[in-house]
């Protein structure tokens, strides 16, 4: 036995279309019925008023009043044959024929018919209650009598010259005639209803098409699932997600994007006017194409941004911009570079130290004890390890000594002399080595690159470091100068701090930002986040000396006695 396959449920748009069509059809039918009923009632009232007017006219006829009085005064009612040939019958039939009424009936004071369209009914009691009319009142009625349904009126007949009721006149118009009038009027109503129904069908179809386009053909269950998935994904990832719709408005701006860019939720605002770095908006220009990820600095963070077109069934939905935080990776990379540089320097110094030991061992083996003592004295005066940094002894902080010494080894390998300026004075110890490494390392690297690329035969980099004590930590002031060719006469000193700025192709300061255009921008933002700054003191000139940069880093040093006090408290 085969099971019948269950029918798939109707799509939501189809259900909506059918529901709208049903509503439109119901409204049109109800409107047509109400209009027909109102028309029927109006025509019926007009028939009642017309019947009332005719009944009054017949009842006020003096001959009718006198004839009804005369019959009422007789003993008994005349036979039907006599009534049929009498003047009342003639007057009633003349009025009925002239006006097209269904009937004109005249009765005596007991309700017996004295005139009727059907002679056989003469002398009989009327089929409808004449009590109210015989009591002196006028009444309009819709009844079904011996001649069929009718809309009529009953009016009393008074004796001539008195207020005595001697009979009544009943006039009626056929309701079938009223129905025919309604049928004639129902034609325009039907045409109007059909037009309204057609317009409703067309509007429902267009609304269905728009609904499908707005929902991308998805069902409500699918949309609900997508919304739940979107919320879960957007709020559950550490990457920033920015959705830009096809009309240029921000549709998605998740919490990670707000945190990375330091902005509130910008959903609903124009993407072109959003307070975000220009590199991001440039990724989604109308003529932009999907490109590789770019690096930029925003809010003191190094971000990697990429943009992808969002398409659904070939429909352009806009752009999706992804942001990834690479700040910690950049800091770790710089720390590893510093460690690698120091390791290389120490490896070179290890060879020098081994040579010194071999020299001492040689003096001892040949019995030259005095020369060995003099050699050891010289080593004790200069230190067993010597970095190629002039006046390195001016740096009292061990961290600065090691880091600058390693940079000196690296600069020496490239033919650049790194020296410490005479104004250098550091009395405290560095408490924020990561920030100091980032700023100082960038400035020294840029200066070494500038000296190598410069036209001066004497290649050097001069570093001056000064710490200024403070209540909440000392401020480290750093000044770096080089022998390069400067920034160039056409370069704005502030432009070198823009993300992506580099003059690697020119004769000025190539690779000022490590070849990526991020170093100086990151250093300035890091310094400003601490309340300091990085700026250009001198732009330099062609042939040397080169540019002079100064950095101030608040709360990065502490006095030695303060550190000792903290250790004792701990």
**Residue-by-residue pLDDT tens, the chain, 570 positions:** 444 445 556 666 677 777 777 887 788 788 778 877 887 788 778 888 888 899 898 988 898 888 888 888 887 788 888 888 889 888 989 988 898 888 899 998 888 888 988 888 888 888 888 888 888 888 888 877 777 777 889 999 998 888 889 899 999 888 766 666 666 666 776 777 777 778 877 877 787 777 777 776 666 667 766 666 666 565 656 678 888 888 888 888 888 788 788 788 888 888 888 888 877 888 887 766 666 677 777 766 777 788 888 776 677 778 888 888 776 666 666 666 666 666 665 666 666 667 767 777 777 878 778 887 777 777 665 544 456 676 766 777 777 877 888 788 888 888 898 888 888 888 888 888 878 888 888 899 889 988 998 888 889 999 999 988 887 788 999 999 999 888 877 777 888 887 666 644 343 333 333 335 667 877 888 888 888 999 998 888 887 788 899 999 998 888 766 554 555 555
Cis peptide before 387 (omega within 30 of 0): no
- CA-to-CA distance for 548 and 414, rounded, in angstroms? 20
Two structure tokens written together for 544? 């040397």
Q: Which residue has the tokens 């129904």?
A: 197
Nearest to 119 by CA among 85, 87, 151, 95: 85
- CA-to-CA distance for 58 and 88, rounded, in angstroms? 10
- CA-to-CA distance for 464 and 15, rounded, in angstroms? 78
- CA-to-CA distance for 105 and 114, rounded, in angstroms? 7
Output the pLDDT for position 35.
77
pTM (2 decimals)?
A: 0.46
Output the pLDDT for position 430.
86
Output the pLDDT for position 356.
67
Contact present, 546 and 509 (Cβ < 8 Å)? yes
- CA-to-CA distance for 442 and 514, rounded, in angstroms? 8
Contact present, 149 and 131 (Cβ < 8 Å)? no
Output the pLDDT for position 509.
38
Contact present, 555 and 473 (Cβ < 8 Å)? yes
DSSP-assigned letters across all residues of 259-309: HHHT----TTSBSTTSSS-HHHHHTT-TT------EEEEETTEEEEEEEEE
> Any bridge partners for residue 167, and if so which?
108, 157
Nearest to 161 by CA among 56, 65, 53, 71: 65
Contact present, 462 and 549 (Cβ < 8 Å)? no
């Amino acid at each position: 036995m085969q099971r019948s396959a269950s029918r798939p449920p109707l799509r939501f748009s189809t259900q909506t279309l059918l529901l709208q069509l049903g509503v439109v059809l119901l409204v049109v039918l109800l409107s047509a019925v109400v209009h027909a009923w109102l028309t029927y009632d109006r025509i019926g009232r007009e028939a009642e008023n017309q019947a009332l007017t005719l009944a009054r006219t017949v009842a006020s006829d003096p001959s009718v009043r006198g004839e009804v009085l005369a019959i009422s005064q007789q003993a008994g009612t005349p036979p039907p044959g006599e009534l049929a040939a009498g003047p009342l019958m003639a007057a009633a039939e003349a009025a009925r024929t002239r006006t097209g009424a269904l009937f004109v009936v005249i009765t005596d004071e007991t309700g017996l018919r004295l005139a009727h369209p059907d002679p056989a009914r003469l002398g009989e009691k009327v089929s409808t209650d004449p009590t109210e009319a015989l009591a002196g009142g006028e009444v309009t009625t819709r009844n079904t009598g011996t001649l069929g349904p009718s809309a009529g009126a009953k009016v009393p007949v008074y004796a001539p010259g008195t207020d005595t009721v001697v009979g009544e006149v009943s006039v009626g118009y056929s309701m079938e005639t009223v129905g025919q009038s309604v049928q004639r009027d129902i034609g325009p109503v039907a045409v109007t209803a059909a037009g309204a129904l057609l317009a409703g069908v067309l509007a429902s179809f267009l609304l269905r098409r728009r609904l499908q386009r707005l929902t991308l053909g998805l069902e409500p269950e699918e949309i609900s699932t997508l919304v739940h998935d979107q919320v879960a994904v957007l709020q559950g990832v550490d990457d920033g997600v920015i959705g830009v719709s096809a009309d240029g408005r921000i549709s998605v701006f998740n919490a990670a994007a707000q945190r990375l860019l330091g902005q509130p939720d910008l959903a609903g605002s124009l993407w072109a006017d959003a307070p975000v770095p220009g590199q991001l908006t440039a990724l989604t220009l109308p003529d932009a194409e999907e490109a590789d990820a770019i690096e930029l600095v925003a809010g003191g963070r190094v971000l990697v941004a990429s943009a992808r077109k969002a398409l659904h069934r070939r429909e352009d939905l806009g752009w999706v911009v992804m942001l990834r935080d690479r700040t910690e990776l950049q800091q770790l990379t710089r720390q590893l570079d510093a460690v690698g540089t120091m390791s290389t320097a120490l490896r070179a110094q290890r060879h020098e130290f081994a040579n010194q030991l071999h020299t001492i061992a040689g003096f001892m083996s040949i019995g030259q004890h005095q020369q060995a003592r003099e050699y050891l004295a010289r080593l004790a005066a200069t230190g067993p390890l010597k970095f190629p940094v002039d006046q390195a002894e001016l740096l009292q902080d061990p961290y600065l000594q090691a880091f600058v010494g390693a940079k000196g080894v690296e600069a020496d390998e490239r033919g650049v002399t790194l020296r410490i300026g005479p104004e250098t004075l550091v009395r405290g110890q560095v408490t924020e080595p990561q920030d100091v490494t980032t700023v100082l390392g960038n400035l020294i690297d840029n200066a070494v690159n500038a000296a190598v690329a410069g036209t001066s035969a004497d290649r050097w980099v001069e570093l001056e470091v000064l710490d200024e004590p403070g209540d909440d930590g000392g401020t480290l002031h750093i000044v770096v100068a080089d022998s390069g060719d400067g920034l160039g006469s056409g370069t704005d000193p502030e432009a070198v701090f823009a993300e992506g700025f580099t003059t690697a192709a020119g004769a000025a300061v190539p690779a000022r930002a490590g070849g990526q255009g991020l170093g100086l921008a990151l250093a300035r933002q890091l310094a400003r986040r601490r309340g300091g700054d990085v700026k250009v003191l001198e732009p330099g000139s062609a042939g040397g000396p080169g540019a002079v940069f100064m950095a101030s880093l608040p709360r990065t040093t502490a006095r030695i006695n303060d550190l000792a006090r903290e250790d004792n408290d701990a």
